[in-house]
């Protein structure tokens, strides 16, 4: 009996900053993968601002490439910073491009999210808004555990690596739950 194909997990950070705590936390995903998962990261830095006039002429090459990466993934994991009580514009822009027809690559896609912030309040509001966007894009989010890395300056080293074991363990648990959800969804699609 052959083993099922590996689950392709695509990570997306909602921050463009070189020393982003969210991007640093996203890199942990690759280190805590359960068996049967492959992990890659897509960047948002080259995506143009969404513009319906541009879309009408066809997706720009950067957008087409990004959409293909998302379509090829079995599941998505987002590092969601909180800017002004919501998701950052760069992430919202990427989601706008993903939402466009035909064949939105997020339709029915399982996903998970977490966030890191220097604030003691964390990213709960940004993640809450992100969940609303998941509804519009028909993504299926993992609900627990909720991973919110607060006071991030104390939990990352000078190279931007997450050092807080409790946060690493929560990310490991979140990735495991995303794996389980993806497997369950694969089973229902086979019916």
Is 4 or 52 the better-scoring residue by pLDDT? 52
Separation between Cα atoms, residue 92 and residue 70, nearest integer Å: 15
Please identify which residue in the block is written with the tokens 């079995």: 74
For residue 4, what pLDDT is reported?
Answer: 78
Token duo for residue 44: 């948002």
Separation between Cα atoms, residue 55 and residue 101, nearest integer Å: 10
Reported as a single tens digit per residue, the pLDDT across 50-87 is 999 999 999 999 999 999 999 999 999 999 999 999 99
Separation between Cα atoms, residue 89 and residue 49, nearest integer Å: 10
Reported as a single tens digit per residue, the pLDDT across 110-153 is 999 999 999 999 999 999 999 999 999 999 999 999 999 999 99
pLDDT at residue 12 greater than cutoff 70: yes
Contact predicate 160/24, CB 8 Å: yes
Please identify which residue in the block is written with the tokens 């083993």: 3
Q: Average pLDDT of 95-124? A: 96
Token duo for residue 40: 């890659």
Q: Average pLDDT of 151-173? A: 96
Question: Residue 143: CA atoms inside 13 Å, Cβ hemisphere, count?
Answer: 0
Residue 52, C-beta contacts closer than 8 angstroms, at least 6 positions apart:
none
For residue 1, what pLDDT is reported?
Answer: 60
Residue ranges with strand state E in the chain: 7-13, 37-42, 75-79, 110-116, 140-141, 147-149
What value does the mean pLDDT of the chain take?
95
User: Domain spanning 7-190: which superfamily?
Assistant: Flavodoxin domain (3.40.50.360)
Q: 165-173 long-range contacts, Cβ below 8 Å, gap at least 24?
A: 167/25, 168/28, 168/32, 170/114, 170/145, 171/25, 171/28, 171/29, 171/32, 171/114, 171/147, 172/32, 173/145
C-alpha 125: how far from its chain's center?
16
């Amino acid at each position: 009996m052959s083993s099922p194909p590996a689950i392709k997990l695509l990570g997306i950070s909602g921050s463009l900053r070189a020393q982003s705590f969210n991007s640093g936390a996203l890199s942990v995903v690759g280190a805590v993968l359960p068996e049967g998962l492959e992990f890659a990261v897509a960047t948002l830095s080259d995506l143009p601002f969404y513009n319906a006039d541009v879309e009408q002429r066809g997706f720009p090459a950067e957008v087409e490439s990004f959409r293909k990466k998302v379509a090829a993934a079995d599941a998505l994991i987002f590092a969601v910073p909180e800017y002004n009580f919501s998701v950052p514009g760069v992430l919202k822009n990427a989601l706008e491009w993903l939402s466009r027809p035909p064949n939105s690559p997020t339709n029915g896609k399982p996903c998970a999210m977490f966030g890191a912030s220097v604030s003691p309040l964390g990213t709960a509001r940004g993640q809450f808004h992100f969940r609303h966007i998941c509804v519009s894009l028909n993504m299926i989010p993992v609900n627990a555990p909720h991973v919110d890395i607060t006071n991030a300056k104390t939990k990352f080293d000078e190279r931007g690596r997450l050092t807080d074991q409790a946060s690493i363990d929560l990310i490991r648990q979140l990735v495991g739950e995303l794996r389980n959800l993806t497997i369950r969804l694969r089973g229902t699609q086979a019916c």
